[in-house]
Amino acid sequence: MGVREAAGAWLSTLVISILATLFFFFTLVLLRMLVRNAWLAAAMFVALFTIPKVLGSDHVVIDTVVWATIYAIAAVAVVRFGLIVLGIASLMANVLLNLPYTLDFSYWYATQCFFIALIFVAIGVWGVYTSLAGKPIFGKNILEG
């Protein structure tokens, strides 16, 4: 792929992530309005999205565990942390799950995938830094003694 195709793939992944995030959030809000309990709504959300994935499966037990875990993480992210966390998680999952990975740097796409993975590590480090609001990561500051 060239630069235009890569940019198009990134933008389509971004749009898909935004739409999925808003759909999940809207569904969870509707369920919460219906049952008036956030965690019961989250459990219903997990069941609502897991059951259709499992119905046509050849490996029901494995698929139930996998999809229930994925949707439970999404539900907990929205209930506990909010919409932005779900949006970033959705974008990161869509990008990272669709990258071709290799440890052989003779392949032409190895450096680009490594660079994208480093971007997401940098986003994670920045998130930890901003969430601490200037506090040291491991208790007392090392330089203070």
Distance CA 24, CA 5 (A): 28
Judgement on whether residues 91 and 111 belong to the same structural domain of the protein: no
Distance CA 74, CA 128 (A): 20
Mean pLDDT to the nearest integer, 42-60: 93
More confident residue, 120 or 145: 120
Judgement on whether residues 81 and 35 belong to the same structural domain of the protein: yes
Judgement on whether residues 110 and 47 belong to the same structural domain of the protein: no
Judgement on whether residues 51 and 91 belong to the same structural domain of the protein: yes
Q: Could you give the residue ranges of the DSSP H alpha helices within 36-143? A: 38-55, 60-76, 83-96, 110-132
- What is the reported pTM? 0.73
Judgement on whether residues 32 and 90 belong to the same structural domain of the protein: yes
Looking at the chain, the whole-number percentage of residues with pLDDT higher than 90 is 41
* Per-residue pLDDT tens digits for 124-138: 888 888 888 877 766
More confident residue, 6 or 132: 132
- Final residue of a structural domain among 98, 119, 135: 98
Position 64 pLDDT exceeds 70: yes
Judgement on whether residues 45 and 1 belong to the same structural domain of the protein: yes
- Structural tokens at position 86: 């779900």
Judgement on whether residues 106 and 91 belong to the same structural domain of the protein: no
Judgement on whether residues 94 and 121 belong to the same structural domain of the protein: no
Judgement on whether residues 12 and 43 belong to the same structural domain of the protein: yes
Judgement on whether residues 83 and 43 belong to the same structural domain of the protein: yes
Judgement on whether residues 94 and 107 belong to the same structural domain of the protein: no
Residue 99 is predicted with a pLDDT of 76
Compute the mean pLDDT over every residue in the chain, rounded to the nearest whole number. Answer: 86
Are the C-beta atoms of residues 54 and 63 closer than 8 Å to each other?
yes
Number of domains in the chain: 2
Residue 62 is predicted with a pLDDT of 95
Structural domain boundaries, residue 20: 1-98
* Per-residue pLDDT tens digits for 92-121: 888 888 777 778 888 887 887 888 888 888
